[in-house]
Each structure stands twice: as structure tokens, then as C-alpha cells.
């Protein structure tokens, strides 16, 4: 089984235009993500997928990059990039694709390895990561996606609202109970055949309501398995995030 890491990168971010090319401690954000991903020795390839010539030209100076069309999601961009890369059939439908966020310049390579290990298990077609919430305010933050999952790790639901909801004594300043609340980390692994399937699905009602595309897959009866990690890398979503990192 072979694995490829794909880093979707677009220039026209609404909250932070040009984000992949901003400097983070002396290197561009996209270069840092690429170099961190390359430290995962379980990946056979790492490639950036972009629709912007500036990003394409920059990444070409140090690594692998493909030009894609415009897409509504990183998932769709991953599929087109995979099809471009796989023009010579180096990969097959049972191989794995890791969708690596392009705004986490200090991503931990062992988290990628964690997903790869999960994908290698029989019957696991989509895998992702979650981390226990230790800051109470994150439970109520709609930008922090929460996930609940079964004892076997199968995701039951993702939401921007607090799940599970603590009916008794659920106040914003409560210390979160260590056994209940988990945040979803936006790193995915897919079997190639599954990525091809989910990329063709139209948005469904749960996705439209919460603006979370993984709910589309679950509503179509595709299981997502969650692996718990104790690590969380720093995501840079806005210019303010970058200022805090530099400060």
C-alpha cells in the first residue's frame, strides 16, 4: 500500500489572501508545511496542489507541485491533484491519500504517520484526528469543530456547537470534563477509491446547515474513523494569528 501527501494551497483566502506565501520564521508558510510533511517517512510522495501561478512557481523551486482548476473544497482539489499525479498509474484505488492542511507550518510528522497506520487497518476508508479539549472556551467557539465518536473510533457527529451538550451546569467558564469533549483537527486520510466517491457527492442538508463537508459523507453512510492525538500544531487562519506567532 502506497501513500501520498497532498497539500491544497490557494491564494485567494477570504480571511487571509496570499496566506501560503507569507513568511513564517524565515520561510514561506507553504514551504514549512511541505518540509514538515516530507519528514514523515511513510509517505511515498508529497505534493502541493494549487490553482495559483505564484504558488506554483514558488513551490517549484524546492518541491513537487501540480496546477489544478478552481475548487470549492480542499477535498475536490486533492482528487484532481491525485488524478494528475497518477497519470502513469503509480497508485491504485486501495492506496492512501493524506489531505494535509496548508496553514499549519509546524504540523507534526508523526500525526501523519498516525493516520497512515489507521488507514492500513481493514475497513478504514476515511480517517481523521481529534484532540481532547482542555480549554473551556473552545467548547463554545463555533470555529472549533467538535466531534463525538464511538468506542471503536467511528465518528457519530461533528458540530460547531458543544457536543455532547452537558444539560447540567454547562457554563462557558466551566472546566471541561476530560472524558467528554474533543476538537476535530482538519487532517484527513482517504483510500483513493473513497476520495473519488465522496468528491462526486452533492452537498447534503447537514453539511449545508453546519458548513462541514464531512457531514455530507456521513449522511451518505460513509464511516469516518477518529484517532485521538495529544498533539496540536499551530494553525494560521488570519493575519492576527501570524502576529501572535511572531509576537
Indicate the CATH number for domain 3-246.
3.90.550.10
Instruction: Check residue 5 and give its pLDDT.
Output: 97
The pTM (predicted TM-score) of the whole model is 0.91
164 upstream amide cis, omega within 30 of 0: yes
- Residue from 4, 225, 17, 195 nearest 103 by CA: 17
Split at pLDDT 50, 70, 90, the class of 241 is confident
d(CA 192, CA 202): 19
Q: Please give, one letter per residue, the 3-state secondary structure of 166-228.
A: CCCCCCCCCCCCCCCCEEEEEEEEEEHHHHHHHCCCCCCHHHHHHCCCHHHHHHCCCCCEEEE
What are the pLDDT digits (tens) for 58-92? Answer: 999 999 999 998 887 889 999 999 999 987 778 89
What are the pLDDT digits (tens) for 121-175? Answer: 877 899 999 999 988 889 999 989 999 999 999 999 999 999 998 877 655 555 5
Please state the domain extents for the chain.
3-246
Amino acid at each position: 500500500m502506497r501513500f501520498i501527501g497532498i497539500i491544497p494551497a490557494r491564494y485567494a483566502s477570504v480571511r487571509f489572501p496570499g496566506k501560503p506565501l507569507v513568511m513564517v520564521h524565515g520561510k514561506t508558510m507553504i514551504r514549512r508545511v511541505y518540509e514538515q510533511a516530507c519528514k514523515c517517512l511513510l509517505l511515498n510522495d508529497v505534493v502541493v496542489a494549487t490553482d495559483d501561478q505564484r504558488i506554483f512557481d514558488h513551490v517549484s523551486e524546492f518541491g513537487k507541485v501540480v496546477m489544478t482548476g478552481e475548487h470549492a473544497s480542499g477535498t475536490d482539489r486533492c482528487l484532481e491533484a491525485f488524478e494528475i499525479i497518477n497519470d502513469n498509474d503509480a497508485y491504485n484505488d486501495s492506496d492512501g491519500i493524506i489531505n494535509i492542511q496548508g496553514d499549519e507550518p509546524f504540523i507534526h510528522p508523526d500525526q501523519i504517520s498516525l493516520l497512515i497506520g489507521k488507514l492500513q487497518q481493514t475497513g478504514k476508508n476515511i480517517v481523521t484526528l481529534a484532540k481532547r479539549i482542555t480549554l473551556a472556551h473552545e467548547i463554545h467557539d463555533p470555529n472549533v469543530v467538535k466531534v463525538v465518536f464511538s468506542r471503536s473510533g467511528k465518528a457519530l457527529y461533528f458540530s460547531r456547537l458543544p457536543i455532547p451538550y452537558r444539560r447540567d451546569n454547562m457554563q462557558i467558564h466551566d472546566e471541561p470534563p476530560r472524558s467528554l469533549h474533543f476538537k476535530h483537527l482538519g487532517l484527513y486520510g482517504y483510500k483513493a477509491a473513497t476520495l473519488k466517491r465522496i468528491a462526486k457527492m452533492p452537498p447534503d442538508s447537514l453539511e449545508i446547515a453546519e458548513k462541514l463537508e464531512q457531514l455530507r459523507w456521513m449522511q451518505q453512510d460513509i464511516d469516518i474513523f477518529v484517532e485521538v492525538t495529544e498533539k496540536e500544531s499551530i494553525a494560521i487562519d488570519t493575519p492576527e494569528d501570524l502576529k501572535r506567532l511572531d509576537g
